[in-house]
Chains A and B, each alone.
Chain A
Amino acid sequence: MHTQHFPQLESVELIEQGFEAFGYICSRKIATAVFLAFQLRKPVLIEGPPGVGKTELAKTIAQLLDTPLIRLQCYEGLDEAKALYEWKYGKQLLYTQVLKEKLGDLLQGAIGLAESVEKLHQFGDIFYSEEFLEPRPLLKAMQQDKGAILLIDEVDKSDYEFESLLLEILSDYQISIPEIGTVKARTTPMVFLTSNNTRDISDALKRRCLHLYIPFPTVELEERIIRTRVPNVTEALRHQLVEFVHSLRQLDLKKAPAISETIDWARSLLLLHADQLDAELVRSTLNVLLKYEEDIETADSELRSLLSTRSSDKRTT
């Protein structure tokens, strides 16, 4: 097992710049996590509310390093046949058929059962061999020659048992297949796990990972993100809309709007040719930001105060 060398990941600053080139604006902390993950060869467990760019981070690194991104979406009932490997049963059946036909030739000259069996043992057994192995995402990530980004998405959705399955991969970058043996990674992949915190991840898994919590961004950071993602929005509107989203997050909502929603909103405002926020416009586009009827109602009733505090802010500045 050897490790790929990536000059893009030499320092925290380089990572920040590299990400920015691909339109991913990140805080210092995120860049530090990526740097450490690469230097220490440890997986990163990313937590945070939905829509703050957890999955996007892994995608951007794959782009930055130009390595394949192998993604494993977790769900309840995910098992090793879908995550690790499976045998190609159809091919194995065919193989036994072929073997049956050739058996006469192979056993030529063997007298008696004992001798036949002994002769049979002399042939290499390829029934359980790599040829008949169907790699699933985790094994596939181990088999990449040039390294890979392995994204295990929403690991909290998977079962408890599946977590234990991951432990060997995360600490030693290897997979044990009972019929074959241990398969080591050709090149250590960079592993990212994401979690929405729907349940507690086991300590054993946490221990093996670097822990990165991505919160909602600051106003400055979010404005930079909007600038790179939706460049056509005017400076004034950008400031207004980010401020508005931030004040929305202060409300007691079922689901606070995340960065992805802010981006969507900025795009829809652009489509509507808006250059200024007003109550009517916000009301008609609120469903882009908020995903629950109750939330929309709550925000609607607060709309006046939200917009007025913001404009008074503006007057004072």
Chain B
Amino acid sequence: MQSNLVDFIQVLRSHDIRVSPAETLDAIGVTTTLGYSDRNLLRDGLAMTLAKTPAEEVIFLDCFDRFFQQDLANFSSEEVPNKQDESKDADQADNAAVQSENFFTSQISTLEMAAKSDPSLKSLLHTPLMENLLNNNRPELTLAINAAAQSVDLQKIQMFTQKGQFTRRILDAMGEEQIRNAVIALERAENPALAVLQRFRDILRQQVRDYVEREYLLHAEGKNQQFMDDILSKTRLNNLEHIYLHKVHELIRKMAKKLASRHAHKRRHLKRGQLNMAKTLRKGIPNDGVMFNTYWRQVKKEKPQILAVCDVSGSVAAYSKFLLLFLYSLQDILPKVRSFAFSSHLGEVSTYFDDYPVEKAIELVNWKYGGATDYGNSLMDLSKLALDDINSNTTVIILGDARNNNGDPKLDILQSIFQRARQVIWLNPESRRAWGSGDSEMLRYQSACHFSAECNNLKQLERIVDQLLKSTR
């Protein structure tokens, strides 16, 4: 059972629940204290040690139910398509099994009749697999499937494409081959027992298929989710299909949360720094060198301020959604963020982000500020709105492709911002090779930035924000 528990914890981990070895030990402690007799009690107890948030608890309960599913494989004589319903309603199936017992015996006798003329079928009937099937010995068959699954390492299933392959391997391991051969032999002989044997074969196959399906959901679903997330965060944002949008939402939220938990914890600075010996001595001179008062080096408290400016024009339409989403989450994390959006003119959008939920806010911003790009005009607006507030504690982030439709770039304004601000960061969704080509003013603007980077997938975005947050602390 202990190894079973460890398997279960592996499953939890693949579903994004972090379980440390210490917690595994706790879980073992819980199982030994509570015992295995009461399923609900055990579930609640394990949930307390393994799931640490209400959200994790939901995932836990789901996994628990799937992993410790107690249904036995069902081989009664009902028709194959009904099988799925039966697993939900085991009692009913039991009744059906009793009723059909007579029908069963008649079928067995048919097979035995046929076996008299066919030696291979005769030997088949005496294999443990076939005996169990004929007697509808469900516990034994379930055990056999489990054992076969173990022997072919079903737990390592990764992709849904492997399902068929694993089903076949399990069937082989159980010795289904003999049944297959017997079916072929009966077919050749045109024996009436053929239908009966075929039915047993189909039941077996269906059961194994269901079993593989269940295990796949348990072991591979979580891994696939991680795989998908990984791929999504590395894809260029403008290449993402529309259907993945909500997933990206989720990812950005996750990312923002991760960054927030890493950086939200403010390090409390001691107000008093080191003893300022020189000043203390100097101030002591009027008192004949007696140092009445001590003087300390003050720790200067910095209040980081961030101005985020985002291009929402048509040329970056594919990105602006993500960039705004990112701005929105940024405003949640950092205390002093002012957000601006522009295409032909520029305006402050912080209030939208404060007042509305994310989708609504993004829609409003796009509607109000979307259009053709004019960087020169927008920079002028920015300097009117915020230049006075930019000081040595301000970080200015500009998100845009720097394509100015051949207008006046007004580089001098960006330069004055560059001189005042602590840092100016330009994040450009275009790849570095395209910078400066056509109407792109990126190379010129770059000269007035402390740091410029291409930023077109979530991984890059995360890395840059992380850096940013570190430097603003």
Partner of B48, one of A32, A39, A203: A32
Q: B21-29, B136-144, B149-157, B269-277: which lies at the A interface?
A: B21-29
Partner of B57, one of A35, A210, A213: A213
Interface string of B265-290 (1 = CB under 8 A from A): 10010000000000000000000000
Q: Cβ of A310 < 8 Å from any Cβ of B? A: no
- Nearest Cβ distance between residue B21 and chain A, in whole angstroms? 10
A42 touches B26 (CB 8 A): yes
A200 touches B261 (CB 8 A): yes
- Nearest Cβ distance between residue B473 and chain A, in whole angstroms? 14
A36 touches B40 (CB 8 A): no
How far apart are the CA atoms of A206 and B57 in the complex, in Å? 14
Q: Cβ of A160 < 8 Å from any Cβ of B? A: yes
B45 touches A36 (CB 8 A): yes
Which residues 88-104 of A have a CB within 8 angstroms of B? Answer: none
Q: Cβ of B224 < 8 Å from any Cβ of A? A: no
Q: Cβ of B34 < 8 Å from any Cβ of A? A: yes
A161 touches B268 (CB 8 A): yes
Using known A-B contacts A210-B49, A213-B54, determine if residue A32 contacts B44 with beta carbons closer than 8 Å.
yes
Q: Cβ of A12 < 8 Å from any Cβ of B? A: yes
Q: Cβ of B33 < 8 Å from any Cβ of A? A: yes
- Nearest Cβ distance between residue A173 and chain B, in whole angstroms? 16
Which residues 29-50 of B have a CB within 8 angstroms of A? Answer: 29-30, 33-34, 40-41, 44-45, 47-49
B51 touches A211 (CB 8 A): yes
Q: Cβ of A28 < 8 Å from any Cβ of B? A: yes
A interface, over-half SS: helix
A207 touches B48 (CB 8 A): no
Q: Which residue of A lies closest to B260 (CB)?
A: A200
Q: Cβ of A159 < 8 Å from any Cβ of B? A: yes
A211 touches B49 (CB 8 A): yes
Partner of A40, one of B23, B30, B57: B30
Q: Which residues of the other chain, A, contact B52 by a CB distance below 8 angstroms?
A: 203, 206-207, 211
How far apart are the CA atoms of A36 and B44 in the complex, in Å? 10
A28 touches B48 (CB 8 A): no
B268 touches A33 (CB 8 A): no
How far apart are the CA atoms of A47 and B45 in the complex, in Å? 16
- Nearest Cβ distance between residue A198 and chain B, in whole angstroms? 12
B261 touches A39 (CB 8 A): no
- Nearest Cβ distance between residue B162 and chain A, in whole angstroms? 34
Q: Cβ of A249 < 8 Å from any Cβ of B? A: no
- Nearest Cβ distance between residue B92 and chain A, in whole angstroms? 29
Partner of A32, one of B41, B54, B57, B261: B41
Best-buried of B23, B33, B52, B261 by chain A (most CB within 10 Å): B52
Q: How many A-B residue pairs have CB under 8 A?
A: 49
Q: Cβ of B20 < 8 Å from any Cβ of A? A: yes
Using known A-B contacts A206-B52, A211-B51, determine if residue A36 contacts B23 with beta carbons closer than 8 Å.
no
Q: Which residues of the other chain, A, contact B18 by a CB distance below 8 angstroms?
A: 203
How far apart are the CA atoms of A12 and B42 in the complex, in Å? 12
Q: Cβ of A212 < 8 Å from any Cβ of B? A: yes
Using known A-B contacts A40-B26, A40-B30, determine if residue A32 contacts B45 with beta carbons closer than 8 Å.
yes
Q: Which residues of the other chain, B, contact A159 by a CB distance below 8 angstroms?
A: 268
How far apart are the CA atoms of A212 and B47 in the complex, in Å? 9
Q: Which residues of the other chain, A, contact B57 by a CB distance below 8 angstroms?
A: 211, 213
Q: Which residues of the other chain, B, contact A200 by a CB distance below 8 angstroms?
A: 261
Q: Which residue of A lies closest to B56 (CB)?
A: A211
A36 touches B48 (CB 8 A): yes
How far apart are the CA atoms of A39 and B26 in the complex, in Å? 11
Q: Which residues of the other chain, A, contact B54 by a CB distance below 8 angstroms?
A: 47, 213
Q: Which residue of B lies closest to A37 (CB)?
A: B48
B23 touches A207 (CB 8 A): yes
Q: Cβ of A29 < 8 Å from any Cβ of B? A: yes
Best-buried of A36, A40, A161, A213 by chain B (most CB within 10 Å): A36
Q: Which residues of the other chain, A, contact B33 by a CB distance below 8 angstroms?
A: 35-36, 39-40
B265 touches A33 (CB 8 A): no
Q: Which residues of the other chain, A, contact B261 by a CB distance below 8 angstroms?
A: 200
B48 touches A33 (CB 8 A): yes
Partner of A160, one of B23, B45, B49, B265: B265
- Nearest Cβ distance between residue B56 and chain A, in whole angstroms? 9
Best-buried of B18, B48, B261 by chain A (most CB within 10 Å): B48
B40 touches A28 (CB 8 A): yes
How far apart are the CA atoms of A33 and B52 in the complex, in Å? 14
How far apart are the CA atoms of A28 and B268 in the complex, in Å? 42
A207 touches B22 (CB 8 A): yes
Q: Which residue of B lies closest to A208 (CB)?
A: B22
B48 touches A12 (CB 8 A): no
How far apart are the CA atoms of A160 and B268 in the complex, in Å? 10
Between A and B, 7 residue pairs with Cβ closer than 8 Å are A12-B41, A35-B33, A36-B34, A40-B26, A206-B52, A207-B23, A211-B52
Please give 7 more A-B residue pairs, beta carbons under 8 A apart, in addition to A36-B45, A159-B268, A161-B268: A29-B44, A32-B41, A32-B44, A36-B30, A203-B18, A210-B48, A211-B57
Interface residues of B (CB under 8 A from A): 18, 20, 22-23, 26, 29-30, 33-34, 40-41, 44-45, 47-49, 51-54, 57, 261, 265, 268
Which A-B residue pairs are the 7 nearest by beta carbons? A210-B48, A39-B33, A206-B52, A32-B44, A29-B44, A40-B29, A160-B265
